[in-house]
Structure 1
Amino acid sequence: MPKSYKFLKEDLEAVFLNGYNIVGDGTPDALFPILSGRTELQHPYARQRYSKDIYLEPDLFIFHTAKQYGYQTAYYEDMPWIGSFQYRYNGFSRRPADHYLRSFLMEETSHGSKWWNGLHKRYCLGATPQYLFLLNLTRQFMDLNTKRFCFTFIADISHDDFNLISTADDDVVDFLDHIKQSGKLKDTLLIVMGDHGPRFSPMRSTYQGKMEERMAFMSIVLPERLKMERPDALESLKSNSKVLTTPFDIHTTILDAMGLNNLSSDFIVPNFKIRRGLSLLQKIPKTRSCDEAGILPHWCVCLNIKWYNVLKTDRMYQKAADSLSEYINNITDEKRSLCVKRKLTSIEWVTREDLKEKSSNHLRPNVYYQIMIVMSPGRAVYEGSMQYDTKLDKFVISDKAVSRISA
């Protein structure tokens, strides 16, 4: 979307967060922190696989916080058949925002049948492209003469075919231009973002693809009034564009811009001193680590360690692959009548952290490995991060540190 990017950069003077790092897999792990300042595990455990009767509590989300302080709120999201908080979850216990689109789109898409009715029916509402329908609703909401908070999440135009998103370029420019010409930016914080990069695609199997998934697009335009009242805010934001930032920071920043910084999360990762979520309107330490920011090693792009390839002749090369394969098969073991047992067909690479960089003692109990394997049936490609316990001679693996990177 070159026109939209140019408009953000030149006309709106947006600040792009070049060190923005996601904190987990897929959309929910991006949106839970942004919209609530919490991880999924800090919410009621509403995953469908564990319970059908536990729902997400709207009071824990920023829509509720904003409403408590006089804001009208809106949450617009397309693709209701795979909703961010419905696909693997039971949804909300009640409507999370004043203006909520889910019921309409569920009815309009006949509870997901639109997915199967062909492309010419899927992407439009009558004569209007669905993404433009959401943009138009957002534009109308922005015209309300009150304090307002809106989260518009458009996925369908890019979710399954990234090439389609270019068709929205001109309309996004028109929307951004309207926001500027209407004078809204005097008192509006504008964020244009993506939730994550491609999770599975041919490019995802490359090193660049691995970075792309983890470093989502994030741009911020500060309100003119805020820049006048807090002259250091823009300077701090620009400085923070070059350091490690996360979805947790976005939540804290939004509250700070609303004058509600006292309501931001005070959670501190155990054994560290600074908060997990920091405001981008204040300078963030350049020394900040992924651990401090609440990013698991599997998702951290800027691991402060050096890696080297494990040779095929090293016994750990095969042992690491076998351990990951066994772990993946164990996950589906209880459904073995439905899910065939997978077989390891190839090992793409195995890397190991360089202990010389971290310790003069080579007998440290845990060594960190990353690995990519291919399994059958089909070409099932997995990328995993694992700790090796040297005392027990075994790998420790978490489902939060395994990515399926093929369709």
Structure 2
Amino acid sequence: MWSPNVKQKRMIFFACVLFLLFIINHKYNTPMTLDLRHSDVHAQCVLPEIDPFDKEVMKLDQHPRPPSCSDSMPLLFIDMEGYIQFNHTSLTLYKLSKSDVDCAYIPVERTGGDDDIILKPKIQFNEPEYIEWDFVVANCLDKKGKLIYEAVLTSVDSKTVLERKQIKTAFADQYNVLLFGIDSLSRTGALRKIPKTMNYLQDDLGGITFKGYTKVGANTFPNVVPLLTGKRADKTDLGPAWEHYYFDDYPLIQYNYSHAGYVTMYAEDWPYFSTFNYLANGFKVQPTDHYLRPMYLTMKKLAPVSTSLEQVNLYLENKHIKILPSSLCYKHRTKHVIFLEYLKRFLNAYKTKLKFSFSWMSELSHDYPYYLEIADQDFTDFLKWMKFEGHLNNTVLVFLSDHGSRIDDLRNTAVGRIEARMPLLTIVLPERLKQQHPDIVKTMKENTNVLTTAFDVNAMIGDILHQNFDQHLESLLRYKHPRGLSLFRKIPKERTCANASISEQFCPCFISKPTDIKSPNVQKIVNFSIDKINRMLYKHKSVCATLSLSQIKDAQLVVSSFERYQTKKFTIRDFLNTRVKDENKYTILFETSPSDALFEVTAHVESDSEIKIIGDITRTNKYGKQSQCISDKFLRNFCFCK
């Protein structure tokens, strides 16, 4: 009988240790199955305040290198008016004249469904020549018949659409709608990864960002369907359309806009995983007047091998391993820039017409959310272009996402668990709408601090279509889809996850419980807050009285209501990632003397007893003439003139 010697025993032991380490590593790196659910979706919601730059999040933050695209220059291009022309800069660079090359274009036609395109016969042209297609394959041969240039070029053929369809001109109280979506992006994640874009949206364009915007489904499809239909993505809401082979019978809101005389556009940048095509069949009939999907299908048809390897290549890029040209490029440009250019072409082609567009970007943010930062300046430039060209004068811009990051290590942090539930939603209203309906702006700003969902955005889009801006009228879509409360209408602060149609697994809310006003932590926070107020007033101490505590009116302990939900599959991460505990946050209402002012403060008591105030100390009663001795608008909330 064979008996292992000492050396063999050591080798077997070593192999077993390696195998065990492999299993542990595999278990740890298995996508997390930890499921935290809200224990009481009927409780009034306290929106969680999280730090976008939390230290645990920043440990995971990455800054990828910008992709290096091809340095070859195109020989042909289509200008913004839709005319194909030679790129004379390229001809000069390559020391060519037009007589040295034989160039033509091949029209791309969508046929038979979402995965079917055909390349039409080649067309010779004399520049400049208008292109009666949205997509063509342009190519050039040298004098020897060798192919020296080939690329998919995009245009927006407005002439053909205007010949077959009556598109209305935009007049007063009629507004365009531009839905611009970015997959897997939370509000706080946007502040980290596209700060220039967010600053421009909020500071320069006056965008209104909704802190309580919450997802209603796990991934893209069940969040986009409510956005575009006002209904849940299930058989109960969608009826027979739910079981159809194609999605043509879904009550998508772009159909309503099209019937009302709007020109429509739908663009997604990731054809393999797009909303209505991932593990599905998409649309039998093109869903909008202009549709970007055939462009990507043509790119794949021309280069089937490299496009099939894009996701593998992107994984290697993320590991800083360069084998193939960047998957984020097409020829000499990044693909997201091409995507943005298509939107520009659409807006430019129908500048005076009524427009509805829905665009959705996924490739930069879905699997590797850190790549999104490479588009920050391009997004900002696109928004600046829209403003400069006047496209925002009569357009409601909805800049949003479906959910936060769900599949990377960020999801395993306390902040990440909240971010996964709370996607980005920023809305830019045209100045004309603000001036004509100032109450809408006030109402929308109030709604930023309550629970909102895609159902509410859908109701608002319906109000825009029907020019329903009167604050005293109920949203027209409210009767059809009772889940949605238009963002133009006041949404109750008492709204719960249950009556917002947010299930327990997606509810992000914290809840507050009464606590003893005499507790040491409450006393510390109040004393710290009054001391802070007096320090803020120090420069005005000659005219403002020093405040002291009169009484504590109310104290609430703010706690997470997340509880671990039993999962069938256990991983190491399940053990390491316990429920979110936040049992040292308080919201306190107190009164000061001699002003009788009421102040509300929310604060943490840290483990080292340090006090951290969240947000501002807010005055909850009027100061009237108490502060007339100073002019500072902010400090007037606190000063009591001697």
**Normalised TM-score (structure 1):** 0.71
State the match for 1:55 in structure 2: 246
- Deviation of the 1:2 alpha carbon: 1.4
User: Quick one: distance in 2 between partners of 1:5 and 1:343?
Assistant: 39
- Deviation of the 1:229 alpha carbon: 2.2
**Alignment match of 2:391 (pick from 184, 198, 204):** 184
The one-character-per-residue Cα deviations of 1:241-294 (angstroms, maximum 9, x if unpaired) are: 1111101111111121232556525356xxxxxx31011112111111111111
Does the Cα contact within 8 Å between 1:193 and 1:216 map onto a contact in 2? Answer: yes
State the match for 1:30 in structure 2: 223
Q: Please list, as runs of the form range in 1=range in 2, the aligned pairs for 1:32-181 lying within 5 A after superposition.
A: 32-41=225-234, 42-43=237-238, 54-58=245-249, 60-110=251-301, 113-116=308-311, 118-119=313-314, 120-143=325-348, 144=350, 145-181=352-388
State the match for 1:245 in structure 2: 452
Does the Cα contact within 8 Å between 1:74 and 1:151 map onto a contact in 2? Answer: yes
Does the Cα contact within 8 Å between 1:8 and 1:14 map onto a contact in 2? Answer: yes
Q: Work out the percentage of aligned pairs sharing the same amino acid.
A: 32
Instruction: Choose between structure 1 and 2 for higher RCO, CA contacts under 8 A separated by at least 6 residues.
Output: 2
Residues 299 and 267 of structure 1: CA distance in aligned 2, closer, same or farther (over 3 Å): farther
Task: Give the AA of the match of 2:341.
Answer: N
State the match for 2:529 in structure 1: none
- Deviation of the 1:106 alpha carbon: 2.0
Residues 210 and 45 of structure 1: CA distance in aligned 2, closer, same or farther (over 3 Å): farther
Q: Secondary structure at the match of 2:498?
A: helix
State the match for 2:205 in structure 1: 12
Does the Cα contact within 8 Å between 2:232 and 2:238 map onto a contact in 1? Answer: yes
State the match for 1:296 in structure 2: 503
Does the Cα contact within 8 Å between 2:213 and 2:452 map onto a contact in 1? Answer: yes
- Deviation of the 1:231 alpha carbon: 1.8
Residues 350 and 235 of structure 1: CA distance in aligned 2, closer, same or farther (over 3 Å): closer
Does the Cα contact within 8 Å between 2:397 and 2:428 map onto a contact in 1? Answer: yes
Task: Give the AA of the match of 1:15.
Answer: I
User: Quick one: distance in 2 between partners of 1:244 and 1:39?
Assistant: 17
Which structure 1 residue ranges, 5 or more long, are not aligned? 269-274, 311-316, 326-341, 353-407
User: Quick one: distance in 1 between partners of 2:393 and 2:561?
Assistant: 51
User: Quick one: distance in 1 between partners of 2:213 and 2:560?
Assistant: 22
Q: Secondary structure at the match of 1:190?
A: strand
Does the Cα contact within 8 Å between 1:43 and 1:56 map onto a contact in 2? Answer: no
User: Quick one: distance in 1 between partners of 2:358 and 2:382?
Assistant: 15
User: Quick one: distance in 2 between partners of 1:96 and 1:90?
Assistant: 13
- Deviation of the 1:309 alpha carbon: 9.2
Q: Secondary structure at the match of 2:423?
A: coil
User: Quick one: distance in 2 between partners of 1:81 and 1:138?
Assistant: 21
User: Quick one: distance in 1 between partners of 2:507 and 2:498?
Assistant: 9
Does the Cα contact within 8 Å between 2:208 and 2:448 map onto a contact in 1? Answer: yes
Larger Rg: 2
**Normalised TM-score (structure 2):** 0.46
Q: Please list, as runs of the form range in 1=range in 2, the aligned pairs for 1:234-383 lying within 5 A after superposition.
A: 234-259=441-466, 264-266=477-479, 275-302=482-509, 304=511, 321=566, 324-325=567-568, 347=575, 348-349=577-578
Task: Give the AA of the match of 1:236.
Answer: T
* Alpha-carbon RMSD: 2.7
Q: Does 1:212 align with 2:458?
A: no
Does the Cα contact within 8 Å between 2:241 and 2:250 map onto a contact in 1? Answer: no
The one-character-per-residue Cα deviations of 1:188-246 (angstroms, maximum 9, x if unpaired) are: 00111122111121121122111001110110011222222212111111111111110
Q: Secondary structure at the match of 1:266?
A: helix
Moved more, 28-37 or 108-117: 108-117
- Deviation of the 1:24 alpha carbon: 1.0
The one-character-per-residue Cα deviations of 1:118-137 (angstroms, maximum 9, x if unpaired) are: 34342122212111111111
